[in-house]
Amino acid sequence: MDNNRAAQSGDERIGMWDGMSKQSEMHLFAPGHSGCPGCGPSNVLIQVCDTLGKDIVVVQATGCMEITSTQYPQTAWRVPYIHSLFQNAPAVASGVSRALKAQGNDHTKVVVIAGDGSTYDIGFGALSGMLERGDDVLYVCYDNQLYANTGVQKSGATPYGAATTTTTVGSVHRGKETERKPIAEIVAAHGIAYVASASVAYSADLQNKVRKANAVKGPSFLVVDSPCCLGQGFDGGITMKVAKLNVMSRLWFLYEIENGKFKLNFNPANPKPLQEVLGLQKRFRHLSPGQIEHIQKQADASYNALLEKAGLLESQKSFSSPEKPLNTPK
Protein backbone atom coordinates (compact mmCIF):
# COMPACT_ATOMS: atom_id res chain seq x y z
CA MET A 1 0.00 0.00 0.00
CA ASP A 2 2.26 2.74 -1.25
CA ASN A 3 0.73 6.09 -0.43
CA ASN A 4 2.84 7.51 -3.22
CA ARG A 5 4.01 10.67 -1.57
CA ALA A 6 3.56 13.52 -4.01
CA ALA A 7 6.28 13.44 -6.67
CA GLN A 8 8.13 16.69 -6.09
CA SER A 9 11.76 15.59 -5.92
CA GLY A 10 14.23 18.37 -6.23
CA ASP A 11 11.89 21.31 -6.65
CA GLU A 12 12.28 24.24 -4.31
CA ARG A 13 9.83 24.32 -1.42
CA ILE A 14 9.04 28.01 -1.09
CA GLY A 15 6.22 28.27 1.38
CA MET A 16 4.51 25.29 -0.21
CA TRP A 17 5.58 22.96 2.48
CA ASP A 18 6.34 24.98 5.59
CA GLY A 19 5.05 22.71 8.29
CA MET A 20 5.85 22.38 11.97
CA SER A 21 7.27 18.88 11.58
CA LYS A 22 8.40 16.39 8.95
CA GLN A 23 5.03 14.63 9.09
CA SER A 24 3.08 17.86 8.72
CA GLU A 25 4.97 18.69 5.50
CA MET A 26 4.41 15.40 3.73
CA HIS A 27 1.08 15.80 1.95
CA LEU A 28 -0.49 18.25 -0.50
CA PHE A 29 -3.47 18.42 1.89
CA ALA A 30 -1.95 19.67 5.16
CA PRO A 31 -2.93 18.76 8.73
CA GLY A 32 -4.66 21.32 10.93
CA HIS A 33 -7.92 21.15 8.97
CA SER A 34 -10.99 20.89 11.22
CA GLY A 35 -12.54 17.66 9.95
CA CYS A 36 -14.04 15.49 12.70
CA PRO A 37 -11.74 12.89 14.29
CA GLY A 38 -11.94 9.84 11.95
CA CYS A 39 -13.29 11.79 8.97
CA GLY A 40 -13.52 9.62 5.83
CA PRO A 41 -13.62 12.48 3.28
CA SER A 42 -10.50 14.14 4.78
CA ASN A 43 -8.53 10.96 4.09
CA VAL A 44 -9.86 10.83 0.51
CA LEU A 45 -8.46 14.33 -0.11
CA ILE A 46 -5.00 13.31 1.09
CA GLN A 47 -4.92 10.14 -1.05
CA VAL A 48 -6.30 11.87 -4.17
CA CYS A 49 -4.03 14.92 -4.04
CA ASP A 50 -0.88 12.93 -3.28
CA THR A 51 -1.64 10.63 -6.22
CA LEU A 52 -2.26 13.54 -8.64
CA GLY A 53 0.78 15.58 -7.59
CA LYS A 54 1.35 19.34 -7.66
CA ASP A 55 0.52 20.16 -11.30
CA ILE A 56 -3.23 20.53 -10.67
CA VAL A 57 -5.85 23.21 -9.92
CA VAL A 58 -8.46 22.13 -7.37
CA VAL A 59 -11.98 23.52 -7.79
CA GLN A 60 -14.17 22.85 -4.79
CA ALA A 61 -17.91 23.09 -4.12
CA THR A 62 -19.16 24.36 -0.76
CA GLY A 63 -19.29 21.45 1.65
CA CYS A 64 -17.65 19.90 4.69
CA MET A 65 -14.24 19.56 3.06
CA GLU A 66 -14.35 23.16 1.84
CA ILE A 67 -15.40 24.65 5.20
CA THR A 68 -12.93 22.55 7.22
CA SER A 69 -9.98 23.30 4.94
CA THR A 70 -10.20 26.98 4.02
CA GLN A 71 -11.13 29.06 7.06
CA TYR A 72 -9.45 32.43 6.50
CA PRO A 73 -6.62 33.17 7.04
CA GLN A 74 -5.65 29.48 6.86
CA THR A 75 -5.88 26.78 4.20
CA ALA A 76 -4.90 23.12 4.18
CA TRP A 77 -4.35 23.13 0.43
CA ARG A 78 -0.81 23.18 -0.98
CA VAL A 79 -2.02 23.28 -4.59
CA PRO A 80 -3.81 26.06 -6.49
CA TYR A 81 -7.40 26.10 -5.18
CA ILE A 82 -10.65 27.96 -5.94
CA HIS A 83 -14.09 27.81 -4.32
CA SER A 84 -17.05 29.90 -5.47
CA LEU A 85 -20.48 28.50 -4.62
CA PHE A 86 -22.30 25.26 -3.79
CA GLN A 87 -23.78 24.57 -7.20
CA ASN A 88 -21.27 25.83 -9.76
CA ALA A 89 -17.99 23.90 -9.26
CA PRO A 90 -18.24 22.05 -12.62
CA ALA A 91 -18.87 25.34 -14.45
CA VAL A 92 -16.00 27.07 -12.63
CA ALA A 93 -13.76 24.10 -13.51
CA SER A 94 -14.69 24.34 -17.18
CA GLY A 95 -13.72 27.99 -17.09
CA VAL A 96 -10.36 27.28 -15.43
CA SER A 97 -9.52 24.49 -17.90
CA ARG A 98 -10.41 26.62 -20.93
CA ALA A 99 -8.34 29.53 -19.56
CA LEU A 100 -5.30 27.28 -19.06
CA LYS A 101 -5.72 25.98 -22.59
CA ALA A 102 -6.01 29.53 -23.96
CA GLN A 103 -2.67 30.31 -22.31
CA GLY A 104 -1.04 27.29 -23.94
CA ASN A 105 -0.97 25.14 -20.77
CA ASP A 106 -2.00 21.59 -21.73
CA HIS A 107 -0.48 19.74 -18.73
CA THR A 108 -2.03 21.22 -15.55
CA LYS A 109 -5.06 19.08 -14.64
CA VAL A 110 -8.22 20.77 -13.35
CA VAL A 111 -9.75 18.66 -10.58
CA VAL A 112 -13.20 19.21 -9.04
CA ILE A 113 -13.46 17.87 -5.48
CA ALA A 114 -17.07 17.97 -4.27
CA GLY A 115 -19.39 16.21 -1.86
CA ASP A 116 -22.48 14.21 -2.77
CA GLY A 117 -24.84 17.08 -2.00
CA SER A 118 -23.30 19.33 -4.65
CA THR A 119 -22.72 16.44 -7.07
CA TYR A 120 -26.03 14.53 -6.92
CA ASP A 121 -28.31 17.50 -6.15
CA ILE A 122 -27.67 21.24 -6.25
CA GLY A 123 -24.78 21.13 -8.75
CA PHE A 124 -26.06 18.25 -10.88
CA GLY A 125 -27.17 20.51 -13.74
CA ALA A 126 -23.74 22.13 -13.95
CA LEU A 127 -22.08 18.68 -13.83
CA SER A 128 -24.17 17.43 -16.76
CA GLY A 129 -23.33 20.57 -18.73
CA MET A 130 -19.60 20.08 -18.15
CA LEU A 131 -19.76 16.44 -19.25
CA GLU A 132 -21.65 17.31 -22.43
CA ARG A 133 -19.08 20.03 -23.25
CA GLY A 134 -16.31 17.44 -22.88
CA ASP A 135 -14.17 19.80 -20.77
CA ASP A 136 -10.82 18.34 -19.66
CA VAL A 137 -11.74 18.03 -15.96
CA LEU A 138 -11.29 15.22 -13.42
CA TYR A 139 -14.32 15.23 -11.08
CA VAL A 140 -13.90 13.48 -7.71
CA CYS A 141 -17.01 13.11 -5.51
CA TYR A 142 -16.30 12.20 -1.89
CA ASP A 143 -19.62 10.54 -1.14
CA ASN A 144 -20.69 10.51 2.55
CA GLN A 145 -24.34 10.02 1.58
CA LEU A 146 -25.72 13.16 3.31
CA TYR A 147 -25.34 16.90 3.86
CA ALA A 148 -22.82 16.84 6.68
CA ASN A 149 -21.83 20.49 6.90
CA THR A 150 -25.33 21.69 7.70
CA GLY A 151 -25.93 18.90 10.18
CA VAL A 152 -26.92 15.60 8.49
CA GLN A 153 -29.77 16.25 6.11
CA LYS A 154 -30.76 13.84 3.32
CA SER A 155 -29.13 14.11 -0.14
CA GLY A 156 -29.70 12.27 -3.41
CA ALA A 157 -26.91 9.93 -2.30
CA THR A 158 -28.63 8.90 0.94
CA PRO A 159 -29.47 5.19 0.81
CA TYR A 160 -33.01 3.79 1.17
CA GLY A 161 -34.13 3.54 4.80
CA ALA A 162 -31.46 5.82 6.27
CA ALA A 163 -32.63 8.31 8.90
CA THR A 164 -31.39 11.88 8.44
CA THR A 165 -32.81 15.14 9.79
CA THR A 166 -34.91 15.52 6.64
CA THR A 167 -35.88 11.87 6.35
CA THR A 168 -36.83 11.62 10.00
CA VAL A 169 -38.43 8.66 11.71
CA GLY A 170 -42.02 9.26 12.77
CA SER A 171 -45.20 7.30 13.18
CA VAL A 172 -46.10 7.61 9.46
CA HIS A 173 -42.73 7.86 7.65
CA ARG A 174 -39.57 6.05 8.82
CA GLY A 175 -36.37 7.16 7.11
CA LYS A 176 -35.65 7.64 3.42
CA GLU A 177 -38.25 6.08 1.14
CA THR A 178 -36.36 6.24 -2.16
CA GLU A 179 -33.16 4.71 -3.58
CA ARG A 180 -29.82 6.48 -4.07
CA LYS A 181 -29.19 8.08 -7.47
CA PRO A 182 -26.99 5.72 -9.58
CA ILE A 183 -24.64 8.66 -10.20
CA ALA A 184 -21.84 6.66 -11.90
CA GLU A 185 -24.20 5.20 -14.50
CA ILE A 186 -25.89 8.58 -15.07
CA VAL A 187 -22.51 10.27 -15.61
CA ALA A 188 -21.32 7.40 -17.85
CA ALA A 189 -24.50 7.77 -19.92
CA HIS A 190 -23.03 11.12 -21.07
CA GLY A 191 -20.61 8.98 -23.09
CA ILE A 192 -17.44 10.12 -21.30
CA ALA A 193 -14.27 8.02 -21.41
CA TYR A 194 -13.77 7.06 -17.77
CA VAL A 195 -16.08 6.68 -14.74
CA ALA A 196 -15.21 4.69 -11.61
CA SER A 197 -16.67 3.82 -8.24
CA ALA A 198 -14.04 3.54 -5.49
CA SER A 199 -13.78 3.47 -1.69
CA VAL A 200 -11.61 5.32 0.83
CA ALA A 201 -10.75 2.00 2.49
CA TYR A 202 -9.38 0.36 -0.71
CA SER A 203 -6.39 2.68 -1.21
CA ALA A 204 -4.57 0.85 -3.99
CA ASP A 205 -7.76 0.58 -6.06
CA LEU A 206 -8.65 4.23 -5.35
CA GLN A 207 -5.19 5.55 -6.25
CA ASN A 208 -5.08 3.39 -9.38
CA LYS A 209 -8.42 4.84 -10.52
CA VAL A 210 -7.22 8.39 -9.79
CA ARG A 211 -4.23 7.81 -12.05
CA LYS A 212 -6.39 6.35 -14.85
CA ALA A 213 -8.90 9.20 -14.59
CA ASN A 214 -6.04 11.71 -14.60
CA ALA A 215 -4.74 10.30 -17.88
CA VAL A 216 -8.02 10.95 -19.71
CA LYS A 217 -8.06 13.99 -22.04
CA GLY A 218 -11.65 15.23 -21.42
CA PRO A 219 -14.03 14.67 -18.50
CA SER A 220 -13.52 11.76 -16.09
CA PHE A 221 -15.50 11.00 -12.92
CA LEU A 222 -14.82 9.20 -9.63
CA VAL A 223 -17.34 8.60 -6.86
CA VAL A 224 -15.63 7.51 -3.63
CA ASP A 225 -17.47 5.98 -0.67
CA SER A 226 -16.15 8.00 2.31
CA PRO A 227 -18.28 7.28 5.40
CA CYS A 228 -19.08 10.17 7.80
CA CYS A 229 -18.94 9.14 11.46
CA LEU A 230 -20.97 12.06 12.76
CA GLY A 231 -23.69 11.85 10.13
CA GLN A 232 -24.02 8.09 9.82
CA GLY A 233 -23.82 7.60 13.58
CA PHE A 234 -20.70 5.66 14.55
CA ASP A 235 -17.41 6.40 16.29
CA GLY A 236 -14.76 7.99 14.06
CA GLY A 237 -12.37 5.11 14.80
CA ILE A 238 -14.32 2.61 12.64
CA THR A 239 -14.74 4.72 9.51
CA MET A 240 -12.52 2.40 7.44
CA LYS A 241 -14.15 -0.70 8.90
CA VAL A 242 -17.58 0.59 7.80
CA ALA A 243 -16.22 1.42 4.33
CA LYS A 244 -14.79 -2.10 3.92
CA LEU A 245 -17.99 -3.70 5.15
CA ASN A 246 -20.03 -1.58 2.70
CA VAL A 247 -18.11 -3.26 -0.14
CA MET A 248 -18.15 -6.71 1.45
CA SER A 249 -21.94 -6.58 1.94
CA ARG A 250 -22.77 -5.34 -1.63
CA LEU A 251 -23.86 -1.90 -0.37
CA TRP A 252 -21.02 -0.29 -2.36
CA PHE A 253 -19.29 -1.67 -5.45
CA LEU A 254 -15.78 -1.20 -6.87
CA TYR A 255 -15.99 -0.97 -10.66
CA GLU A 256 -15.03 1.04 -13.71
CA ILE A 257 -16.96 2.14 -16.81
CA GLU A 258 -14.41 2.74 -19.59
CA ASN A 259 -16.04 4.10 -22.77
CA GLY A 260 -19.30 2.56 -21.63
CA LYS A 261 -17.76 -0.84 -20.86
CA PHE A 262 -18.23 -2.11 -17.28
CA LYS A 263 -15.34 -3.76 -15.37
CA LEU A 264 -15.82 -5.14 -11.87
CA ASN A 265 -12.71 -4.63 -9.72
CA PHE A 266 -13.93 -6.70 -6.77
CA ASN A 267 -16.55 -9.42 -6.90
CA PRO A 268 -18.39 -9.81 -3.53
CA ALA A 269 -19.50 -13.33 -4.53
CA ASN A 270 -20.35 -14.37 -0.94
CA PRO A 271 -21.26 -11.12 0.82
CA LYS A 272 -21.18 -10.47 4.57
CA PRO A 273 -24.60 -10.39 6.29
CA LEU A 274 -26.13 -6.92 6.05
CA GLN A 275 -26.78 -6.72 9.76
CA GLU A 276 -23.04 -6.45 10.48
CA VAL A 277 -22.59 -3.08 8.75
CA LEU A 278 -26.14 -1.75 9.29
CA GLY A 279 -25.89 -2.52 13.00
CA LEU A 280 -22.86 -0.28 13.38
CA GLN A 281 -24.74 2.83 12.25
CA LYS A 282 -27.30 4.85 14.24
CA ARG A 283 -28.94 5.96 10.99
CA PHE A 284 -30.21 2.40 10.45
CA ARG A 285 -31.16 1.58 14.06
CA HIS A 286 -34.91 2.02 13.39
CA LEU A 287 -35.12 -0.31 10.39
CA SER A 288 -38.01 -2.75 10.35
CA PRO A 289 -37.44 -6.33 9.11
CA GLY A 290 -39.34 -5.34 5.97
CA GLN A 291 -36.99 -2.42 5.31
CA ILE A 292 -33.91 -4.62 5.85
CA GLU A 293 -35.34 -7.19 3.45
CA HIS A 294 -35.86 -4.39 0.91
CA ILE A 295 -32.21 -3.31 1.29
CA GLN A 296 -31.04 -6.92 0.87
CA LYS A 297 -33.13 -7.38 -2.29
CA GLN A 298 -31.84 -4.10 -3.68
CA ALA A 299 -28.21 -4.99 -2.91
CA ASP A 300 -28.48 -8.35 -4.67
CA ALA A 301 -30.31 -6.80 -7.63
CA SER A 302 -27.58 -4.16 -8.00
CA TYR A 303 -24.94 -6.86 -7.78
CA ASN A 304 -26.54 -8.98 -10.49
CA ALA A 305 -27.11 -5.97 -12.73
CA LEU A 306 -23.42 -5.12 -12.39
CA LEU A 307 -22.37 -8.69 -13.17
CA GLU A 308 -24.53 -8.59 -16.27
CA LYS A 309 -23.13 -5.25 -17.44
CA ALA A 310 -19.60 -6.57 -16.85
CA GLY A 311 -20.44 -9.76 -18.79
CA LEU A 312 -19.75 -11.95 -15.78
CA LEU A 313 -23.14 -13.59 -15.46
CA GLU A 314 -22.98 -17.39 -15.85
CA SER A 315 -25.40 -17.21 -18.79
CA GLN A 316 -23.14 -14.74 -20.58
CA LYS A 317 -19.91 -16.68 -20.12
CA SER A 318 -20.59 -19.17 -22.98
CA PHE A 319 -20.78 -16.72 -25.88
CA SER A 320 -19.32 -13.37 -24.69
CA SER A 321 -19.40 -11.11 -27.74
CA PRO A 322 -16.10 -9.76 -29.15
CA GLU A 323 -15.02 -6.26 -28.13
CA LYS A 324 -17.29 -3.84 -30.09
CA PRO A 325 -15.34 -1.08 -31.85
CA LEU A 326 -15.79 2.35 -30.28
CA ASN A 327 -18.36 4.44 -32.13
CA THR A 328 -17.39 7.84 -30.69
CA PRO A 329 -13.80 8.80 -31.54
CA LYS A 330 -12.02 9.75 -28.31
Partner 1 sequence: MIKTVEGARVLAEAAVACRLDVVACYPITPTTHLTEELNQFYADGRIPEYLTVEAEFSAISALIGASAAGARTFTTTGGQGLLYMHEPLFSAAGMRLPIVMLVGNRAVSSPLNIWNDEQDTISQRDTGWIQIYCRNNQEAVDSIPQAFYVAEKILLPVMVCVDGHYLTHAVEQVDVPDEKLVQGFLPPYKYPLKLDPQNPVSLGVYANPTHYQTFREDVVADMEAAKEILVEAGKKWGKLTGREYGLINAYKVKDADRVLLSVGSVMDNVVMVVDELREKGEKVGALHLRVLRPFPREEIAKALEGKKVGVIDRDLSIGAQAPIYLEIAEALNGKGAQVSSFYGGLGGRGVKRVHIRELFEKLRKGPVKQWITTEPPKAAMKG
Partner 2 sequence: MKEIRLHGRAGQGMVTGAELIALAAHYEGKHSQAFPFFGSEKRGPPVEAYCRIDDKPFLIHEEIAQPDVVIVGDSSILDAVDVCKGLRADGVVIVNSRKSASDLRLNAKNVYTVNATEVALNHFKKLILNTVMLGAFCKVTGIVRLASVQKAIRESLSSLPAPLIEANVKAIEEVYNLMACSAPAAKAPVVAKTGRKRK
Partner 3 sequence: MIIPHAKPGTSVQNITGEWKAYMPVVNGDKCIKCGICQNFCPEGIMGEVKRIPEIDYEYCKGCSVCANECPVKCIEMRRVEQD
> Does 81 participate in binding partner 1 (rule CB under 8 A)?
no
172 binds, among partner 3, partner 2, partner 1, none (CB under 5 to 8 A by kind): partner 1
Give the chain's end-to-end CA distance (angstroms, integer): 32
Binding segment for partner 3 among 31-39, 106-114, 257-265, 303-311 (CB under 8 A)? 31-39
Minimum CB distance to partner 1 smaller for 167 or for 281: 167
> Does 189 participate in binding partner 3 (rule CB under 8 A)?
no
- Min CB(18)–partner 3 separation in Å: 6
Minimum CB distance to partner 2 smaller for 65 or for 287: 65
Rule CB under 8 A: which residues touch partner 2?
34-37, 64, 67-68, 148-152, 230, 236
> Does 147 participate in binding partner 1 (rule CB under 8 A)?
yes
- Min CB(19)–partner 3 separation in Å: 5
> Does 108 participate in binding partner 3 (rule CB under 8 A)?
no
Task: Name which of residues 6 to 25 contact partner 3 (CB under 8 A).
Answer: 15-25
Among 240, 248, 292, 312, binds partner 3 (CB under 8 A): 240
> Does 288 participate in binding partner 1 (rule CB under 8 A)?
no
Size of the site for partner 1 (CB under 8 A): 29
